[in-house]
Amino acid sequence: MQVLRADYALLPSGVARDVQIHVQDRQIVAVATGGAHAVNEIAIDGLVLPGMANVHSHAFQRAMAGLAEWDAGGRDNFWSWREAMYRFAERLDPQSQLAIARFLYVEMLKAGYTAVGEFHYLHNRPGGAPYAPAASMMEAIAQAAQETGIALTLLPTLYMQGGVDGRALNERQKRFGKSVSELLDMRTAMRDKTGVAQIGLALHSLRAVPPPAMREAIQSVEPTSPLHIHAAEQTGEIEEAQATLNARPVEWLLNEMHADQRWCLVHSTHINDAETASLAKSGAAAGLCPTTEGNLGDGIFPLEAYLASHGRLAIGGDSHVSVDPAEELKALEYSQRLTLRRRNVGASASEAHTAARLWSLAALGGAQALGLGAGAIVAGARADLVVIDTDHISLAGREDTALLDSYIFVAGKSAVRDVMVGGTWVVGDGRHALELEAAAAYRAAVTRILSD
């Protein structure tokens, strides 16, 4: 057993001092404040946080971050970005997938993410021919997770059509296409792979999966399986859904799929008041990706109303223009401030500190969305912990919750010192054992891709 004694720790009740955390067999088995010192106790000079889940990752997009920052005559939007992404995806193979994901997962761990949900739809060769074995690209993701130590919830993604109206996949989209049976076979092959902590199911979107196939896939997986879907990211998607299904996307998912705590509705950006209240009531998590949503010009999620209705939230890096949970939470809060023209929108009557409330909610909601028993420093939770360096220059003179405020809103990932995943330290003193090797392989892979 490891007995950690932290100067500070974020507990469900808030930031506490002198906290003992007992870790055994990958779990937290006891938490106490104060008390007698234990033999072989490990002193943690810093602020300990529950690990953060990155619930929405397209790992391959890390390598194209920054490559679509130009405008073709004032017409650039999400859909033009998507075409650039499709072109980039055509250049990838399992070897480059491994190099990109491994480097990204090292980055995530060093930034304070302890788990990742890989929303994986890059299944086939360019043009649609399958790999042999069919799950080769997913196997690369699992290998990257195993080598780096991050907790992976693999989300094999169903992608069958080019729009809500049922039109066929275009030539570039054929790389993503699988039937329900093909996807489920691949999912079965990945279930017990080393590196896969949990396996769920993703339905790309209402644009890409017809309702009968959606129902068939859901009914074919375990009743506890995490279920993820892109929803209401763009107004164009809403218009398509209304024209074909006579309902808005989130409205349809709540009413027809009965989305509940198993579900993570990624983005949910353009939801009306009724959908906001219903989504909160459902127990599903809203998977928010603020830096990507800002980069793509998606829009702003109605956070204040959602939290007022006790909605559950999680955060994701999505296209990985940022790899930093602090930056995601800061971007989320700042978008609300700009919209409402006031400060500390994410705070509440019970928690006046925005950073503490948002980190606690996102950590717990993220663990729920990925099907991992983590997200809080409590007995029985998975031992996923992040240590913030309270000697960081931007935290000088701070105490208690002010430390967390300055980490989220000022220092960010530069203040992350140590990271534990499932009871094992994977980052120490800001370093990961694989970082140099992973960076070299990533650099070589990306250079090769961009030279083709």
pLDDT at 268: 98
Q: Give the separation between CA 174 and CA 331, rounded to whole angstroms.
A: 34
Rounded to two decimals, what is the model's pTM?
0.97
Q: Give the separation between CA 316 and CA 290, rounded to whole angstroms.
A: 8
In the numeric block, the tokens 């107004």 are attached to 235
Torsion, CA 430, CA 434, CA 438, CA 439, rounded to 10: 40
Residue 398 pLDDT > 80: yes
The catalytic residue positions are 267, 318
Over the chain, what is the mean pLDDT?
Answer: 97
Residue 276: pLDDT band (50, 70, 90) is very high
Strands (E), 200-357: 201-203, 227-231, 263-267, 285-288, 312-315
Alpha-carbon separation of residue 444 from 4, 95, 321 (angstroms): 40, 11, 20
What value does the mean pLDDT take over residues 345-356? 97
Residue 74: pLDDT band (50, 70, 90) is confident
Residue 73 pLDDT > 80: no
Q: Give the separation between CA 104 and CA 152, rounded to whole angstroms.
A: 13
**Kindly report the CA angle at 12 between 8 and 16, in degrees rounded to 5?**
25
Domains and CATH numbers, the chain: 2-49+377-435 (2.30.40.10), 51-369 (3.20.20.140)
Question: How much is the CA Rg of the chain, to the nearest whole Å?
Answer: 21
Q: Give the separation between CA 299 and CA 233, rounded to whole angstroms.
A: 8
Q: List the one residue out of 318, 320, 216 whose CA is nearest residue 264.
A: 318
Q: Give the separation between CA 121 and CA 162, rounded to whole angstroms.
A: 14
pLDDT at 38: 82
